[in-house]
A and B are shown apart, each in its own frame.
Chain A
Amino acid sequence: MYTLSNRLRLFSIILMVVGGIGLVSGFLSTPKTIEEVKEKMAAHDAHGGGHGESHAEESGHGNQNHGEAAADAHGGDEHYKHVLHQLQNKPWASLYVAAFFFFMIALGVLAFYAIQFAAQAGWSPVLFRVMEAITAYLVPGGIILFVILALSGFHVNHLFVWADPKVVEHDALIQGKSGWLNGTGFIIRAAIFLGGWLLYRHFAVKYSRLQDEDATGNKWYKKSFKISAGFLVFFIYTESMMSWDWIMSFDPHWFSTLFGWYVFASLFVSGITTIALITIYLKSKGYMEFVNNSHIHDLAKFMFGISIFWTYLWFSQFMLIWYSNIPEEVTYFITRIEDYKLPFFGMLAMNFIFPLLVLMNSDFKRVNWFVVMAGIVILCGHYIDVYNMVMPATVGESWFIGVSEISAVLLFLGLFLFVVFRALTKAPLLAKGNPYIEESKHFHY
């Protein structure tokens, strides 16, 4: 049995407290009125000549965007209003990105877990308890995400532009999509997705525990196998729709057919990486002697392979849109390349080139610190991936990875560590009733 050390508990609580305080201060420091924005921008301009120059360019750019508005008498204020909305969105968006990122890790692990059952994998059963513990985060993470989605779906904040009736009034494109994109449907769908995933998670863990107690005839194992196969079918549909609802609808004018797969690859590789990191941590503490370096090697292979799969999907989406250059589609990438150059291309280096070169060598995949290093870069890279998906549509060019972004990550990281490591104490770390457990213990590659 694993016991949660006081240091780890304290560490996660400190993370949560620090993150919470930072996030609250992020919310408090958002400007309330246009006048505040003006003051802030003026102060910013006064700071340095170089900055001011680039800023003047930026505001010129903003006015171009609002050419129609500029023709109005209040044309000048229209830009500040725009910036005000972006700045008000910023703490919400950073909260959302972090909430979604940690939730998607748990969801990726859940999908991986189901695949291991459905494929009757012989290598992974020693890792099942780690996976079960990570998926424990689905419950609190899912509830928090649901609350944020509900708030946004009913327009408490400006995260989803389609939720704003004033915007929809003047937007024929969103009106055409309002059969799908409306607050009520949004919440109902989110409840169905989350409900289905949590239901599978509940029964998979329950059957896994029951199989430990009574392995005769593998009754519970067979049930696990069946619900896993069923869950995977449910998952691939709901995951795809989830990505439309929770990510793609930030840009309601834009659509992409492989977006669901793209989000899936992102959450899958983050999930596998987290399994590897937590397994290595527990092994280093002496809790998992039955895990050998072949297991780590296999996880690292998955990290490597799925990173490349993610890149394949990223590039397929990017290249098709770049190549055909249809205005209605290509704006998505133009805003990202113009305003988010570093995060947009930086994540490509972190999610593709780095794991490609580090994890290609078979020997390196057995070296724990190599896997940990690659894993941390992959996780940061996929955080930026989510950041790139959400931020351009919510805060636009007013983005900055500052107090509210980092605090939100710390808050959810603390919660994640707390929930996952507490879940690890609930059951023995070896699923001894699993029919493949002996094979898995002697797994050797």
Chain B
Amino acid sequence: MASKVIHALYIDDDVLMDAVKKVRAEHYHIEEVFTPFPVHGLDKAMGLPHTRLAITSFMYGCVGLTVAILMMNFIMIEDWPQDIGGKPSFSYLENMPAFVPIMFELTVFFAAHLMVITFYMRSRLWPFKEAENPDLRTTDDHFLMEVDAGNHDVDTLTSLLSDTGAVEIKVIDKEEDNH
């Protein structure tokens, strides 16, 4: 089903922020906003929920810590408890200070890398991914707001958008929804 969206281009992030607030106040649905750089507070203005990436990172860190403890407990204490330079290998706790550097590093390693991979997967980023850029200028100096025209009257929507300071407004027929 073909859907209609409106692309409104802006050249200033402050104008964009105001436009986002106005469009949301009029209860139009903003599909997406493309910006060349992070605009502070844009997610709040758009009403996007908080990221839960930090929570996943904490859990990955716990996994890393567990891996480190289990691994070294098995290798150093259970499997072959050798006397290496007089270090007490009778129990994990007794020799724990020697394991802390590894416990720490593996916690950080798991937390960092798995979080990055989670980020890639959630935002669908990979090396041969086809870019989803609606307008090349949005990576340089333009800001683009994509508003769902849906069942709304296109003319009132475009006039609203031009009132918000858009420098260019395009009505696009989308063949397929890539969301």
Contact = CB atoms under 8 A, between A and B. Distances in A.
A150 B98 CA distance: 42
B45 interface: no
B100 interface: yes
Nearest to A324: B85
A318 B96 CA distance: 12
A74 B30 CA distance: 91
Q: Provide the main secondary structure of the chain B interface.
A: helix
Interface string A302-345: 00000000000001001100110100000000000000000000
Contact of A318 (B54, B58, B86, B97): B97
B97 A322 contact: yes
A325 B84 CA distance: 14
Contact of B100 (A315, A325, A360, A362): A315
Nearest to A312: B104
A354 B141 CA distance: 47
B5 to A, nearest CB: 33
Contact of B86 (A315, A319, A325, A360): A325
A136 B100 CA distance: 41
A323 B97 contact: yes
A360 B59 CA distance: 13
Interface residues of A, number: 8
Contacts of A360: 58
Interface string A343-355: 0000000000000
A325 B88 CA distance: 12
A362 B58 CA distance: 13
B161 to A, nearest CB: 29
Contacts of B97: 315, 318-319, 322-323
A362 B86 CA distance: 44
A362 B53 CA distance: 13
Interface string B95-106: 001101000000
A319 B100 contact: yes
Contacts of A325: 86
A172 to B, nearest CB: 29
B98 A323 contact: yes
Contacts of B86: 325
A163 B162 CA distance: 84
A325 B87 CA distance: 10
Contacts of A323: 97-98
Contacts of A322: 97
Contacts of B98: 319, 323
Nearest to B55: A361
Nearest to A318: B97
Interface string B50-65: 0000100010000000
Nearest to B40: A444
B173 to A, nearest CB: 41
A9 B89 CA distance: 57
Nearest to A322: B97
A315 B58 CA distance: 22
B168 to A, nearest CB: 32
A315 B98 CA distance: 11
Contacts of A315: 97, 100
B84 to A, nearest CB: 12
Contacts of B54: 362
A355 to B, nearest CB: 15
A336 B58 CA distance: 33
Contacts of A319: 97-98, 100
Interface string A30-61: 00000000000000000000000000000000
Interface string B64-97: 0000000000000000000000100000000001
Interface of A: 315, 318-319, 322-323, 325, 360, 362
Given A315-B100, A318-B97, 6 more contacts: A315-B97, A319-B97, A322-B97, A325-B86, A360-B58, A362-B54
Interface of B: 54, 58, 86, 97-98, 100
6 contacts: A315-B97, A319-B97, A319-B98, A322-B97, A323-B97, A325-B86
